[in-house]
Structure 1
Amino acid sequence: MKRNLPSHVVYIEDDPDDIRFYTTEFNRIEAIDKLSILSSREHLNEFERTVGAARNEDVPSLILMDWKFHDITGDKILSKLRRVDILKQKPMIVISSSDQDKDLESAFENGATSFIQKPEDLVDLRNMIEVLIRYWLEVCARHP
């Protein structure tokens, strides 16, 4: 079941290889109408500043993010985004290679909707991405 609203996915990642891989995978999925990549602190700050005034189709339906960054921590990103009124109830999913309990706990304490450990196998990772996107954009059609 496709949602009637346009689906805008925001992906927060600073690793160029991961950005290329995930962008390719996201572009294969028809459920995504618009994809935005935030790859730096500057992009994140600009997004945070402008999303409150965004048109309906520009407000993200889903935010996916890595946990480990070069110049900011995942918990700080979540905390910043959860303070933006229009994003308070949006699903924010952490996709990380981390298996540390402290990372999981910190993610949930700072507003993550879910914390998913990246599969090491490429086929499993591709399948996980598709299932995740389809769930949030097609199956779970009634989230805020």
Structure 2
Amino acid sequence: MTVRVVVGGALCHDGRLLAARRSAPPELAGRWELPGGKAEPGETVPEALVRELREELGVETEALERIPGEWPLKPGLVLHVWTARLLSGEPAPLEDHDELRWLGPHELDSVDWLDQDRPFVAEAGRRLAGQGADGAHRGA
């Protein structure tokens, strides 16, 4: 069985992480996620992330690095999350979302994240919190 990758973007800007509230499907509506979507055949996962964030949020981004781990969504579909940097544009909820919020490391628990995003959000939060002057909190 071929496994397709769904890529989520831990989009960080000015020390904050972007959270997107789902508007569909009904079973996910109202919960928060890292925006992204399925990689298309022949597309690398970083290319898919850049394309999906352009389509969903109307911004240009750069995929930086994959956060370790993966989460099986359903048979043949697995979630990978990459950190990403905002290059240009102001994110707007264009598809699948009805609200966006920039959250600092200490605000990440203020929204109801989808279960599969929680471990990646926690790691992204550790990385954001670790971007202090000494950089001592990087790595595992």
Same-fold call, TM cutoff 0.5: no
Q: Name the structure where helix makes up a greater proportion of residues.
A: 1
What is the TM-score with the length of structure 2 in the denominator?
0.30
Structure 1-normalised TM-score? 0.30
* Higher strand proportion: 2
